[in-house]
Structure 1
Amino acid sequence: MEQPLKHQHLLLGLLCCFLTIPAAVSAQSVQGPQQEFAVINYEGTALTQLYGQNALDKIEQIPGFSLSQSTANRGLAAAGGNVLINGAVPASKSESLRQILSQLPKAQIVEIHFYSAGHPFTSASQFTQVVNIITHDNVATTNWQARSKLTSAYQSYRPSELATQISLPTATWQHQINAHYQDERHQSVSTLHAYSAQNLLTEVGREDFFEKLNSRLLSLSSTRNHEHSRLVLSAKTLNEDWQTDFIRPYGKTHAELTQLWQYNESIDTREHELSADWQHQSNQDKQVQFVALHSKKTTDNDSLSRDTGESPDIFKQYKTHQEQVIQFNLNVPSITYKPELGLEISRNQLDATTHTGDEVLISKVSEMRYQPFFAFTHTLNPQWQLYTRINAEHTKLSSGRQNTHRSNLNFIKPLVRLSYEPTSNWDMVLTAQHHVDQLDFNHFVASQNAGFERSQSGNNRLLPSQYSELAAQFNVRPTDKLFMNLKMYQQWQKDIHEIITLDNGKSGLGNAGSATLLGAELALTWDTDAWLSGSQLSVDYQYENAHYRDPLTGTRATTGLTPHSTSIEFRRDMPDHSWGVDIYLPESATYYYQDEVFIERDHIEVNAFAEYQVFASLRVNVKIAALNTAKFTYDQTFYSPQRGEEYDGGMRFDERVDPVITLSLLGTL
């Protein structure tokens, strides 16, 4: 019981230490669309100096900014994050925020606004930092790119990616067409060693892993601007074919690999999506937004595993997921406390048929969810701003073969954010909130991980995990050349998700009690132009420490936790060329199953790139992934009959991924 208290004292001490950093240089910031929010504007020369060919490239060069993407599976937040386009969250379920930003070419970007501590955007109120990208209207452009892996272990040279973005203005509409084809391939080679309960070597072998993803995306977005309103209509279709193959010869010694285990799996996905986003701002500064979305996704999974002398195991699963969402937002910044209110209503249904062995499982999950919210902003003085938001959620959830299990879930999710923005070189944000994670419908149906010989039962009675959080974030510029961003937070989690024994006697994901989590994120951007013109060094570090009282083994971290994560990037950006090196330091994550502890370790990995402008409309990019040969280690420790009791042997995989060189051509017509 003393450990969480010590963490609180540590958090308070770090806050106090950080507040004592001296103010040396005034931050270069200007006022945004509303005077109470400080914003750094990138336009003209400043925008050009953000190197990159698309929106994703450019925002990743903004000092102190860290891109965050929502991990929600349903609702309009699924593709959302802390980057907006013309003040609105991109409404998409078939593409991630990073994919959407990578499809927005630099020719269409007019300005980029960076809000480091508070912002006026209702749709991204859960984020402290926000970037808003302003685009051109009525501009005709065509951008294309072609990529190919020059090193491949499978077939001869072939293109791995083709993409084009075409913008077509008319008298009243701006149309954008995106077409994307990808043939991505991945291979690794592993050695394996199995040990008995007496810690004696019982099996050795090797494993060849092959993975291929073939995807085709076609989307159309049409925008119509009026004097005070904007209408965006979008349609997308996505087809993906994913295939993975394991070939594992093994035996008692390396000279006797007489056994052969093979696993083949294919997943075919078809997804279609329609959306409409209407925004209106009246003369009285009243802002109204209405968003509607419909999507349908079907997934067909077929897998077959076979071992020497044994009958093959077959796993088949067919899933259909349909979703309809409408969202309404109203913001009146011209009156006292600048009130905001809104409502999101979503309907979801997942139907799954699973064939495993001689058993056929029929699963159905349906959800009707209502999420109203109310928020207001209070300016305490020119430096202090208070933002308060109350989110509510009412969900009707039915699950089971005939919807036999029904739940009515009700949550209140408050958020309070206090921002301090002095006219100096630092700012601060304090946040208190209660958050409820969204349930993943895939956890309601059976699943398997044949590569590590695991299977999980679906859980019809799964409840969402939730946590209360206190967080502090600081943005500091001690000198003109150095930008520092520090975030510290502590969470009190409940109903956390862990692998447990379900009522049917099988293992599956379930609600396993409470935990505490202490974390910190540090980002440094150092302008090294004095050493090498156009260069900068970036360092990102994340730390998390959790405490969960496991009924099997006592206090431990929550499953899947990565205690330390560090990346270092050095790059140089010049008008006609750019190059850089990324270094990812070793990290590890531990996963806990009923009869197994699984540890995944990454070794140091180095990536490099170089880009050169051949003509005004053509650039060449070369990337080398895993320059030093990427290495991964997977350790399985088994227990009998359950974790925490008698040691029952183990297995170790040492995986190697050879360097891959990718050549890209990027052009504009």
Structure 2
Amino acid sequence: MLVAHVLVQAAAALTPAPPATQGVTSYPASFFASQQPANAAEMVNRIPGFTLDSGDSVRGFEGAAGNVIIDGRRPASKTDNIEAILRRIPASRIERIDIIRGGAPGIDMQGKTVIANVIRKAGGGLTGLVAAAQNHTADGRTALAVRAEAQGEMGPRTWELGFYAGKGIDDGYGKGSAVRRYADGRPTVTADLDQEGDLLDWQGTGTFETPLAGGVARVNGRASERKYKFDEDFRILAPTPGLEASSEMFHKNDAELGVNYTRSLNGRTAIELVGLRQEGSFDVASLFAAGAANSVFELDRETTETIGRAVLKYRHDDRLSFEGGGEFAVNELDSAARLFVNGVNQDLPAGNVHVKEERGEAFVKATWRPITAWTVDSSLRYETSTISADGDVVLEKTLHYWKPRVSVAWDVLSRTQLRFRLEREVGQLNFDDFVASSRFSSGGGVTAGNPDLNPEQAWVAEAAVEQRFWGSGSILVAFRHYELKDVVDRGPVFGPAGEVFDRPANIGDGTKDELALEASVPFDEIGLKGVLLRGEVVKRWSDVTDPTTGEKREISRLEPLEWEASLTHDLPQWRINYGVDAYGGFRETYYRYNIVETVKFSTYVHPFLEWKPRPDVHIRFEAPNVTGRGVRRTIVSYPGPRNAGGPPAMEHRDTNAPQMWYVRVRKTFGG
């Protein structure tokens, strides 16, 4: 590590980095010229030391933020993720992208240690694109998709429209085999597996921005529909031929309307108002059949969310700024679930419920730069929520949480920064956990709902060091420690007739640690012009007490190790970019009261080539899953709770997703 540090320091001394001022590094449009990007998303993905975070899918506005803002503001949208918004901004409309590390006065870091601020050019006229893509799999399926987008101006007003429609292929499933072994002397079962998942969806988006009452108002809307179907045939070969078939279909509709209004009150003070309304419906039908036995699960769910938010910002000078404000959100859920086993209706805990949450949050934030090399970004938030439920579960409870945060950045050298963070994080309760759900494939069965959950809390300590070098290179090492309380995992619940179901539950305290390494290495300095290697690896450790066995184990669904790498080569003289992305194999383990399921994915390799025969025409070729990604599921099933002592059955399922070939043609205009 010492030798590597010395080499990096020497390289950094030889080549000037992009301009940096007090923790802000600016990347002008010219920085990306050799890469020939089509939109802001492609530009952001090439920034050294930056990894796009689209935000969290939670209720409320404050906690759902990603790590990108546009013209200093966060978009007033939650369902339209930031990557999709960036794809709709043509590269020709970008003046520069500022990377803020550790904080800067006047910038809301949104709880992140590093954010990107995409600065657009004024003017530009009418621009847009049309695109068509086709994905073809080795097993004969074809998926088509089309996209159209446009942006323009009407005097001081601007507008954006977008539409997408297409079919998607779930690359997590394929054909394979299975072996099921019993501990009670029954003969071993062998089977062929055939799994297939397909998606149909469309979405339309629109925004309109206009001067209003001395400020600027931006209205955005989004509507979408999604249909997904999964089928699995478990064809038993021995000892007796048979068939176990399962399928799942869901239909989801979403609509959102958001308004963002900002106004400068004087040279130092500004206000920001946000209003947001979401409505959605979600219908599920799951079926399982094995000979004469069958199970049917049905779910109808409707949700609404209404958010109001106000922020007052004050920038004292280039070294100190404050902001304060609050938000109020009302969320409602109506859910009706039904389970039929061999035609007989079964009682489900929390199967039919109406849940309402009224949630408020007040906050103050400050960014202070006492001297040029140091930045302190801090906030204090107070959250209160009242959750009430009626139907199968009748309850009402009120929760209160203080959420302090302080982040310190120290520019040790011009291209070396140390960052420290201490924060109390409070998770958002997931409405999906409040209601019943199903997963008949892999023996998952039915999961009961649990509206009586507390959000998971954590004290988080983080330390990171980032070294930039060779102009556009960077290396980041970060360590995070989490002291967890009220961990949300899985536990058993008993039905009215003594039936046992799995459900989400608070299982007590725990710990989690993460060690992350991110690197962006350009090879121009060693003669390989246009070659860039980017990668990230994260190692995780976790520890909780299992509610069924009382023994220590890792947290469900947490990947102990994950990595990804991308090698690209830009050839502007040929108008070609090509490369390969690799996503490392990983493991996830799910703990239920009677089942332990472990899923292992092998490495996923994805080569691509993009050719621009004309500046306004982009043709992209991809070979997703060129190595035929494999998935192994190991399911250990107990006859009752795992601590009851009954011998388990074990099932191994090995499948390989089909190889794919993808081509996209994109035509831009204007700009």
Q: What is the match of residue 326 of structure 2?
A: 343
Alignment of 1:399-548 (within 5 A): 399-401=389-391, 404-454=394-444, 455-477=446-468, 479-480=470-471, 482-502=473-493, 504=495, 505-529=500-524, 530-548=526-544
What is the CA distance between 1:149 and its match in structure 2? 1.4
User: SS where residue 339 of structure 1 aligns?
Assistant: strand
Q: Specify which of 292, 296, 305 is matched with residue 323 of structure 1.
A: 305
Distance in 2 (alpha carbons) for counterparts of 1:210 and 1:297: 26
Instruction: Tell me which amino acid in the other structure corresponds to 1:110.
Output: E
The answer for unaligned runs of 5 or more in structure 1 is 1-13
Question: Residue deviations 1:409-461, cap 9 Å, x none?
Answer: 00000001111124422001100000000000111111111112222111121
Which piece of structure 1 moves more, 117-126 or 471-480? 117-126
Contact 2:411 2:417 in 1 (8 A): yes
Instruction: Tell me which amino acid in the other structure corresponds to 1:506.
Output: F
User: SS where residue 627 of structure 1 aligns?
Assistant: coil
Alignment of 1:161-310 (within 5 A): 161-186=145-170, 188-197=174-183, 202-225=188-211, 229-253=215-239, 258-310=241-293
Distance in 2 (alpha carbons) for counterparts of 1:402 and 1:309: 31
What is the CA distance between 1:183 and its match in structure 2? 0.9
Q: Specify which of 286, 296, 299 is matched with residue 314 of structure 1.
A: 296
Output the aligned Cα RMSD: 2.4
Distance in 2 (alpha carbons) for counterparts of 1:252 and 1:613: 55
What is the CA distance between 1:601 and its match in structure 2? 0.7
Indicate whether 1:618 and 2:617 are aligned.
Answer: yes
1:471–1:151 Cα change, 3 Å: same
Q: What is the match of residue 76 of structure 1?
A: 61
Distance in 1 (alpha carbons) for counterparts of 2:232 and 2:390: 33
What is the CA distance between 1:161 and its match in structure 2? 1.2
1:649–1:503 Cα change, 3 Å: closer
Q: What is the match of residue 84 of structure 2?
A: 99
Alignment of 1:544-555 (within 5 A): 544-551=540-547, 552=549, 554-555=551-552
Distance in 2 (alpha carbons) for counterparts of 1:135 and 1:333: 22
Contact 1:207 1:247 in 2 (8 A): yes
Which piece of structure 1 moves more, 207-216 or 507-516? 207-216
Q: What is the match of residue 651 of structure 1?
A: 651
What is the CA distance between 1:283 and its match in structure 2? 3.2
Q: Specify which of 369, 380, 385 is matched with residue 390 of structure 1.
A: 380
Instruction: Tell me which amino acid in the other structure corresponds to 2:541.
Output: N
Alignment of 1:44-123 (within 5 A): 44-49=29-34, 51-77=36-62, 80-120=65-105, 123=108
Question: Residue deviations 1:240-268, cap 9 Å, x none?
Answer: 11111112211425xx5x21122222211
1:53–1:392 Cα change, 3 Å: same
Q: Specify which of 354, 359, 362 is matched with residue 337 of structure 2.
A: 354
Indicate whether 1:372 and 2:368 are aligned.
Answer: no
Distance in 1 (alpha carbons) for counterparts of 2:506 and 2:357: 19
Distance in 2 (alpha carbons) for counterparts of 1:531 and 1:385: 37
Which piece of structure 1 moves more, 544-553 or 444-453? 544-553
Contact 2:365 2:379 in 1 (8 A): yes
Q: What is the match of residue 663 of structure 2?
A: 663
What is the CA distance between 1:531 and its match in structure 2? 4.1
What is the CA distance between 1:659 and its match in structure 2? 1.2
Contact 2:475 2:520 in 1 (8 A): yes
What is the CA distance between 1:346 and its match in structure 2? 0.4
User: SS where residue 590 of structure 2 aligns?
Assistant: strand
Which piece of structure 1 moves more, 343-352 or 555-564? 555-564
Contact 1:79 1:92 in 2 (8 A): no
What is the CA distance between 1:70 and its match in structure 2? 2.2
Question: Residue deviations 1:505-539, cap 9 Å, x none?
Answer: 53211000011111111111111123432111122
What is the CA distance between 1:77 and its match in structure 2? 4.7
Question: Residue deviations 1:491-514, cap 9 Å, x none?
Answer: 000100121123645321100001
Contact 1:163 1:181 in 2 (8 A): yes
Instruction: Tell me which amino acid in the other structure corresponds to 1:636.
Output: I
1:18–1:513 Cα change, 3 Å: farther
Which piece of structure 1 moves more, 505-514 or 341-350? 505-514
Distance in 1 (alpha carbons) for counterparts of 2:390 and 2:36: 52
Contact 2:363 2:381 in 1 (8 A): yes
Indicate whether 1:604 and 2:600 are aligned.
Answer: no
Contact 1:491 1:518 in 2 (8 A): yes
Count of aligned pairs between the two proteins: 645
Distance in 1 (alpha carbons) for counterparts of 2:302 and 2:617: 42
What is the CA distance between 1:631 and its match in structure 2? 0.5
- TM-score w.r.t. the length of structure 1 is 0.91
Contact 1:81 1:124 in 2 (8 A): no
Distance in 1 (alpha carbons) for counterparts of 2:128 and 2:55: 30
1:259–1:402 Cα change, 3 Å: closer
1:666–1:77 Cα change, 3 Å: farther
Question: Higher relative CO (CA 8 A, sep ≥ 6), structure 1 or 2?
Answer: 2
Distance in 2 (alpha carbons) for counterparts of 1:199 and 1:325: 59
Q: What is the match of residue 630 of structure 1?
A: 629
Contact 2:306 2:329 in 1 (8 A): yes
1:431–1:486 Cα change, 3 Å: same
Q: What is the match of residue 593 of structure 1?
A: 592
Distance in 2 (alpha carbons) for counterparts of 1:481 and 1:113: 14
Instruction: Tell me which amino acid in the other structure corresponds to 2:117.
Output: N
Distance in 1 (alpha carbons) for counterparts of 2:23 and 2:183: 62
What is the CA distance between 1:165 and its match in structure 2? 0.8
User: SS where residue 502 of structure 1 aligns?
Assistant: strand
Contact 2:29 2:94 in 1 (8 A): no
1:331–1:359 Cα change, 3 Å: same
Alignment of 1:553-564 (within 5 A): 554-564=551-561
Distance in 1 (alpha carbons) for counterparts of 2:56 and 2:303: 17
What is the CA distance between 1:211 and its match in structure 2? 1.3
1:226–1:484 Cα change, 3 Å: farther
Percentage of pairs with the same residue: 18
What is the CA distance between 1:318 and its match in structure 2? 0.6
Contact 1:623 1:662 in 2 (8 A): yes
Instruction: Tell me which amino acid in the other structure corresponds to 2:571.
Output: M
Which piece of structure 1 moves more, 568-577 or 319-328? 568-577
Distance in 1 (alpha carbons) for counterparts of 2:81 and 2:186: 47
Contact 1:192 1:652 in 2 (8 A): yes
1:199–1:375 Cα change, 3 Å: farther
1:642–1:19 Cα change, 3 Å: farther
Instruction: Tell me which amino acid in the other structure corresponds to 1:442.
Output: D
Which piece of structure 1 moves more, 503-512 or 555-564? 503-512
1:216–1:367 Cα change, 3 Å: same
Indicate whether 1:572 and 2:557 are aligned.
Answer: no
Question: Residue deviations 1:314-372, cap 9 Å, x none?
Answer: 21111110010011111101268422101011000000011111147321110000000
Distance in 1 (alpha carbons) for counterparts of 2:540 and 2:39: 32
What is the CA distance between 1:55 and its match in structure 2? 1.7
Contact 1:337 1:376 in 2 (8 A): yes
The answer for unaligned runs of 5 or more in structure 2 is none
Distance in 2 (alpha carbons) for counterparts of 1:534 and 1:227: 48
1:150–1:569 Cα change, 3 Å: same
Alignment of 1:106-145 (within 5 A): 106-120=91-105, 123-138=108-123, 139-145=125-131
